[in-house]
Amino acid sequence: MPSPHPYLVGLVGTGVGPSLTPALHMAEGRAHGLDYVYRTLDLDALGLPPGRVGDLLQWARTLGYDALNITHPCKQLVLEHLDDIEDTARELGAVNTVLFRDGKAFGHNTDITGFAHGFGEGLPGADTGRVVLLGAGGAGTAVAAALLRLGAGHLTVVDLDPDRATALAADLAARHPLAHIDASSFDKLAVLLPEADGVVHATPTGMAQHPGIAFDPALLHPRMWVADIVYRPLDTALLRAARQAGCRTLDGGHMAVHQAVDAFALITGISPDAGRMSAHFRKLVG
Ligand code: NAD
């Protein structure tokens, strides 16, 4: 029987060609009996500067796309081209999923929900009383919002660029008056980590092209959990060091899969099988 609605979805960003997200969505769509096509729309390949993301949105809508995922460097640039934005995504000022419905464009952020759901899945019951977030870039900003949604009591943001950390902490503190949110410098990690219940690593260090660990792993201790959002590779040097130190760990695959799980649910209205998508993702990365 033909699918009631053939889905057409795209991923907009630079260098999105090797993304695993299209394969994840399409396999899950097939498993639900859907006609589901997911294409990458690489700005570099299209010869478009990021500032033309509004044009791309308009073309996609005209060509019958149901939705777009938006990634670097357009998550902020896309905001002004949307008709409505889900509250947390608006507060954060970043959108990674756009739904086209009834001639309008609606923005969501499944990086936030994806980290939160992945955290609950991979580190159930983990204490979020005192958390250090390393990396205040695009991904770190979404992770910070997720940590606060998860009930983080004291969140300290650290970045090599201290102004970035300070700006993110100030922005979050203004919106979350009940939480204690501050910024600190890289050289204070020796004081911060021994006191922390957990640390989230959200810098590019540890990716295949940026090997290494962003901080001294001797600062890890068995009372803390360690979450890495780098997922290529899944088993980073940080996670190996953390396991050796006796920490509970969470790899970046959880966030990557759950941002796709949540986007698929928004686009289709169908709850995907997160376990199946995770197994597929791990096979693709592995
Ligand atoms: P970004 O360039 O926007 O931000 C990175 C930040 O890290 C910058 O503010 C930079 O100053 C800081 N930084 C770099 N090295 C540092 C160090 N040694 N110590 C402290 N701060 C440091 O990058 P991004 O988009 O936020 O991505 C960061 C990482 O997250 C990448 O590896 C990316 O692949 C990964 N990521 C994972 C997911 C997922 O779903 N798991 C989603 C998005 C991004």
**Hey, whose CA ends up nearest to atom 18 of ligand 1?**
214
Q: Are 97 and 107 in contact (CB under 8 A)?
A: yes
Span 20-34, pLDDT tens digits? 999 999 999 999 999
pLDDT in tens, 236-251: 999 999 999 999 999 9
Shared domain check, 57 and 73: yes
Q: What pLDDT is stored for residue 1 in this prediction?
A: 56
Q: Does residue 228 register a pLDDT over 60?
A: yes
Do 118 and 39 belong together in one domain? no
Question: What pLDDT score was predicted for residue 204?
Answer: 94
- Is the pLDDT at 2 greater than 90? The verdict is no
Residue 2 is assigned to a structural domain of this protein? no
Going by CA atoms, what residue is nearest to atom 40 of ligand 1? 256
- Contact residues for 229 (Cβ-Cβ < 8 A; gap 6+): 115, 139, 143, 200, 201, 202, 252, 255
CATH number of the domain bearing residue 278: 3.40.50.10860
In whole angstroms, give the CA distance from residue 138 to residue 75: 8
Q: How far is the CA of 91 from the centre of ligand 1 (A)?
A: 20
- Closest approach atom of ligand 1 to CA 259: 40
Q: Which amino acid is at 277?
A: M
Residue type, 247: C
**pLDDT for 208:** 87
Question: Cα–Cα distances in Å, from 209 out to 38, 63, 200, 206?
Answer: 27, 36, 20, 8
Q: Are residues 246 and 266 in the same domain?
A: no
Distance 177 CA to ligand 1 centre (A): 26
Q: What domain range includes position 66?
A: 7-108+255-285
**Ligand 1 midpoint to CA 59 (Å):** 30
Sign, CA dihedral 119-233-10-143, equals: positive
Please state, in angstroms and rounded to a whole number, the distance separating the CA atoms of residues 170 and 156.
Answer: 11
For ligand 1, atom 34: residue with the closest CA: 230
Question: Which atom of ligand 1 lies nearest, measured to the CA of 231?
Answer: 41
- Residues marked active site are found at 75
| Mean pLDDT, the chain, whole residue set | 96
Q: What's the 137 CA to ligand 1 centre distance in angstroms?
A: 6
CA proximity to 159, closest of 178, 142, 140: 140
Percent of the chain whose predicted confidence (pLDDT) is above 70:
99
Specify if 1 maps to a domain: no
Judged against a pLDDT cut of 90, whether residue 286 lies above it is answered with no
Query: Is pLDDT at 71 greater than 60 in this prediction?
Result: yes
pLDDT digits (tens, 9 = 90+) for 130-167: 999 999 998 999 999 999 999 999 999 999 999 999 99
**Residue 66 in domain:** yes
Residue 89 lies in a domain: yes
159 Cα to the center of ligand 1, angstroms: 10
pTM of the model: 0.95
Please indicate, yes or no, whether residues 57 and 148 belong to a single structural domain of this protein: no
179 with 141, same domain: the answer is yes
pLDDT higher than 60, residue 16: yes
Ligand 1 atom nearest residue 214's Cα: 18
Ligand 1 pocket list (CB less than 6 A) = 72, 111, 134-140, 159-161, 164, 186, 202-205, 207, 214, 229-231, 252, 255-256, 259
* Average pLDDT of span 4-22: 95
Q: Is 4's pLDDT higher than 90? A: no
In this predicted model, what pLDDT tens digit does every residue of 250-281 receive, in sequence order? 999 999 999 999 999 999 999 999 999 999 99
Q: Are residues 129 and 259 in the same domain?
A: no
Q: Does residue 77 share a domain with residue 152?
A: no
Same domain, 80 and 129: no
